[in-house]
Amino acid sequence: MTNQQYEIATFAGGCFWCTEAVFKRLKGVFEVTPGYTGGTTPDPDYEKIHSDNTGYAEGIQITFDPNIISYEQLLDVFWATHDPTSLNRQEYDEGTEYRSAIFYHDDQQKKDALASQKRLEQDGTYKKPIVTEIVPFKSFYPAEDEHKDYYEKYRYSTYCRVIIDPKIKKLMTNFKDEVKNEYK
């Protein structure tokens, strides 16, 4: 994106099929790219991150307009649509590649992420401790084409109905004012 008003957010909240489906429905979000983030080995791919110890998580990179949706609002959706208290696991998906993480791009994102986590802890939103990593962004590798728009392509598969649909329902219930009209 060449428009200077757009910003980037990078999150890992379990399966990137789930997080992509959730975040692409938000007003002010112009692009959601599933991919691999938080690791150290060069050129990760789906097979490598699920079979080797690459350090990567399935994540998404979000291009958004902060004049329409704030980073803080994205954080609210992030926390609410996955389990940030589950270490290296989301539903049936297990392993470090499914960990919960926020990869901040600047000091303001770090400050906002830490403040939002502290607020949730103080509010007692979760009964268990939050285990989400809040770490500096280092790199992001887009996933292979077959992982992009997975929910739209396989909407009626068992995985989508059992795992992703409840997240979409939660989004539509708790954040309906932030959802793009074409998804309502």
Establish if 30 belongs to a structural domain: yes
What distance lies between CA 180 and its chain's CA centroid? 18
Please state the domain count of the chain. 1
CATH code, domain with 155 = 3.30.1060.10
Establish if 149 belongs to a structural domain: yes
Using pLDDT thresholds of 50, 70 and 90, give the confidence band for residue 3. Answer: low
Are 60 and 82 in contact by the 8 Å Cβ rule? The answer is: no
At 57, is the secondary structure helix, strand, or coil?
strand
The whole domain housing 165 covers: 7-175
Establish if 184 belongs to a structural domain: no
Establish if 153 belongs to a structural domain: yes
The residues carrying an active-site annotation are 15
Establish if 183 belongs to a structural domain: no
Structure token pair of residue 134: 């809040």
Q: Write out pLDDT tens, residues 27-68.
A: 999 999 999 999 988 889 999 999 878 999 999 999 999 999
Establish if 182 belongs to a structural domain: no
What pLDDT sits at residue 1? Answer: 45
Q: Write out pLDDT tens, residues 155-184.
A: 999 999 999 999 999 999 999 999 999 998
Establish if 154 belongs to a structural domain: yes
Residue of 91, 84, 101 lying closest to 12 (CA atoms): 101
Q: Write out pLDDT tens, residues 108-150.
A: 999 999 999 999 999 999 999 999 999 999 999 999 999 999 9
pTM: predicted TM-score of the whole model, two decimal places:
0.95
Residue type at 5 in one-letter notation: Q
Distance between CA atoms of 40 and 63, rounded to whole angstroms?
A: 23
Establish if 160 belongs to a structural domain: yes
What pLDDT sits at residue 161? Answer: 96
Residue with tokens 């392993």: 95
